[in-house]
């Protein structure tokens, strides 16, 4: 079991990396350095959550990067942008609200909570705040600020109740090595985060 400082450092590192991979396009400036790191497999030794599965995940991600930018762009477009219906929408309210809408009640509750924490994300467009990648980066921000209680609240109330369903759909709907590997890394990371929590995960009905 990690100590509290170790746990916060682990969440800060893993949340920033996995959140960026989900929130930003693979060819973006934000991901340029990360993809260069992930193209090799030496990062496995530095990952804060050792696992027998991690080398295989790293190999899969590296294979996907070697497929080239065009392949990554196309899969990112299909999974996160459209124009067709997204097979695994990355926004929490799609799963938590009965009408499967963006900007639903669950997102408004999250937004109110975020304001209470002094967090106002600077996004490029009028996008819902409950994007999976954004919430991982928010978790990293809270961990870096040594705020374990708000971190647990974010995870227990606003992310983990729907994240498993999202990642299941994500895994079922991509055959691209890069995103398949990133999805596995995210699932493993959230499982490790959950082990260190004090608050229980809220039980919420899933509608998607």
Within a domain: residue 129? Answer: yes
pLDDT (tens digit per residue) in 115-145 = 888 876 665 557 889 999 999 999 999 999 9
pLDDT (tens digit per residue) in 40-57 = 989 999 999 999 999 999
Within a domain: residue 95? Answer: yes
Is 196 a residue whose pLDDT tops 90? Answer: no
Structural domain boundaries enclosing 168 = 4-196
Entry pTM = 0.95
34 band by pLDDT with thresholds 50, 70 and 90: very high
Note the pLDDT of residue 174.
94
Q: Helices 160-172 & 177-195, crossing angle to 10 degrees? A: 160
Within a domain: residue 61? Answer: yes
Residue percentage of the chain with pLDDT more than 90: 83
Say if CB 55 and CB 185 are below 8 A apart. no
pLDDT (tens digit per residue) in 183-192 = 999 999 999 9
Q: Give the domain CATH number at 51.
A: 1.10.3480.10
Within a domain: residue 201? Answer: no
Say if CB 151 and CB 143 are below 8 A apart. yes
Within a domain: residue 203? Answer: no
175 band by pLDDT with thresholds 50, 70 and 90: confident
Within a domain: residue 139? Answer: yes
158 band by pLDDT with thresholds 50, 70 and 90: very high
Note the pLDDT of residue 127.
81
Q: How many domains in the chain?
A: 1
Say if CB 192 and CB 160 are below 8 A apart. no
Note the pLDDT of residue 4.
85
Output the CA torsion sign for 37, 39, 44, 49: positive
Exposed, middle or buried, 161 (CB in 10 Å: 0-12/13-18/19+)?
buried
Note the pLDDT of residue 117.
85
Helix/strand/coil for 131:
strand
Within a domain: residue 205? Answer: no
Nearest-angstrom CA–CA distance, 107 and 24: 20
Say if CB 94 and CB 131 are below 8 A apart. no
DSSP 154: I
Q: Concatenated DSSP letters for 10-26?
A: HHHHHHHHHHHHHHS-T
Q: Concatenated DSSP letters for 78-128?
A: IIII-SSPPSS--BHHHHHSTT--TT-HHHHHHHHHHHHTT-----SSS--
Within a domain: residue 202? Answer: no
């Amino acid at each position: 079991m990690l100590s509290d400082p170790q746990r916060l450092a682990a969440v800060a590192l893993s949340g920033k990396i996995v959140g960026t991979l989900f929130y930003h396009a693979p060819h973006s400036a934000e991901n340029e350095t990360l993809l260069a790191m992930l193209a090799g497999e030496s990062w496995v030794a530095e990952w804060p959550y050792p696992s027998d599965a991690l080398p295989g995940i790293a190999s899969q991600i590296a294979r996907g990067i070697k497929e080239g930018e065009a392949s990554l762009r196309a899969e990112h477009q299909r999974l996160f942008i459209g124009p067709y219906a997204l097979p695994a929408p990355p926004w929490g309210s799609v799963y938590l609200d009965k009408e499967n809408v963006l900007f639903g009640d669950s997102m408004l509750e999250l937004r109110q909570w975020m304001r209470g924490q002094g967090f106002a994300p600077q996004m490029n467009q009028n996008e819902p705040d409950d994007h999976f990648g954004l919430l991982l980066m928010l978790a990293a921000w809270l961990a870096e600020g040594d705020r374990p209680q708000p971190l647990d609240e974010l995870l227990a109330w606003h992310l983990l109740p729907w994240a498993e369903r999202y990642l299941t759909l994500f895994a079922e709907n991509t055959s691209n090595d890069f995103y398949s590997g990133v999805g596995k890394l995210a699932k493993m990371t959230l499982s490790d985060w959950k082990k260190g929590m004090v608050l229980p995960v809220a039980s919420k009905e899933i509608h998607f």
